[in-house]
Amino acid sequence: MVQEVNDTLAAVLEERGLDGRVCFTGVAPLPPDGWTVELECSDASVADDVVHRLHLSVDDARRLRVVRLPRADVPAEMVVSTSVADVRRLPSHPSELVSQAVMGDRVAPLKADGEWFLVRMEDGYIGWIRSWHLLETTAAAREAFQARASHRIAVNSSEALSGPSPEALPVSDLVIGTPVAVTGAVLRGWVPVELPDGRSGFVREPHLEPRPAGRGASRERLVATGLRFLGIPYLWGGATPKGFDCSGLVQRIFRLRGVALPRDSDQQARFGREKAVSTLDDLAPGDLLFFGRDSQRITHVAMVLPGREFLHAYGQVRVNSLDPVNPRFEPSLARDWRATRDPLADG
């Protein structure tokens, strides 16, 4: 029965264009004798479709246990309580890093495995986060903090200290975009703040900026935001100034400007409006370039800058060009350029 369930599940996922990044599934025989097969799924409609297609007899239906996530024994809502939380493919530190979340990000737990939670992130991505990076909360408490959090961290890397002095002990390091609630008057250049996990500290005044109201994704602002990440090293699965992969860089730039992009480059290649490009002059700052061996296998993304150049994570966050006369020309990417999209336009 395990093989039959797996084959049916694979067909349903393929038809719906889903994979493990956005739809968690698991099929396994249950001990002690393996007579019962358990199907876990984070999408109830997928699980229901699988059961419908199996056409099980009464006896076989008794052998199939369907678990629709989230499980009842996990919190309804949690927030990230460390500056950066790694998101892994499996509940293990050696497992592949697939993404990152920053302090204050909301996650929806799906199940627990020891000291790990399988969570759905705000962008829909699913992965495992160690429990020590997470704090249980409620929707009301999170919304109350968001209402108080009038500011956010404005520099790539900052810290909250226990007092208004550079000699004070650290409370937490912080990365760009982390929301904070200002709790008092500026004291000798330091601002008292409340962090998303409830801790208090002091942050240097120049390291804060008001949180933008609504979308602020002009092309000029996207470029300015992206260029501040120059030189940050490449990190597979990285999505913060502690390390970026190509799609994590693009997603972070747009998120800081109020636009929610999917996590990976092949997912981003379906966002916004496809753009026909006859010459490089048709490109506009903020457009996204997609690269791959063929158009069905997108593996890299970059953001267009002025002057026929683009920004991407390629060993480090750097600037290259598709123009052969530009000293920053990157011939391998020029060869693999497959598509261009405008993420600021409707798809």
pLDDT tens digits along 215-241: 778 999 999 999 999 999 999 999 999
Number of independent structural domains in the chain = 4
**The pLDDT of residue 214:** 74
- Pair (19, 131) in one structural domain: no
The verdict on residue 99 lying in a domain is yes
Determine, yes or no, domain membership for 144.
no
Asked if residue 112 and residue 164 are part of one domain, the reply reads: no
Is residue 18 domain-shared with residue 64, that is, in the same domain?
A: yes
Q: Report yes or no on 50 lying in a domain.
A: yes
Determine the structural domain holding residue 159 and report its residue range: 149-210
HEC sequence for the chain: CHHHHHHHHHHHHHHHCCCCCCCCEEEEECCCCCCCEEEEECCHHHHHHHHHHHCCCHHHHHHEEEEECCCCCCCCEEEECCCEEEEECCCCCCCCEEEEEECCCEEEEEEEECCEEEEECCCCCEEEEEHHHEEEECHHHHHHHHHHCCEEECCCEEEEECCCCCCCCEEEEEECCCEEEECCCCECCEEEEECCCCCEEEEEHHHEEECCCCCCCCHHHHHHHHHCCCCCEECCCCEECCEECHHHHHHHHHHHCCCCCCCCHHHHCCCCEECCCCCHHHCCCCCEEEEECCCCCEEEEEEEECCCEEEEECCEEEEEECCCCCCCECHHHHHHEEEEEECCCCC
Look at residue 52 and tell me whether its pLDDT is greater than 80. Answer: yes
Q: Are residues 25 and 56 in the same domain?
A: yes
What percent of the chain lies above the pLDDT cut of 90?
92
Question: 243: domain CATH number?
Answer: 3.90.1720.10
347 part of a folded domain:
no
CATH code (residue 153): 2.30.30.40
The verdict on 51 and 159 lying in the same domain is: no
Residue 309 and residue 249 in one domain: yes
The pTM is what? Answer: 0.95
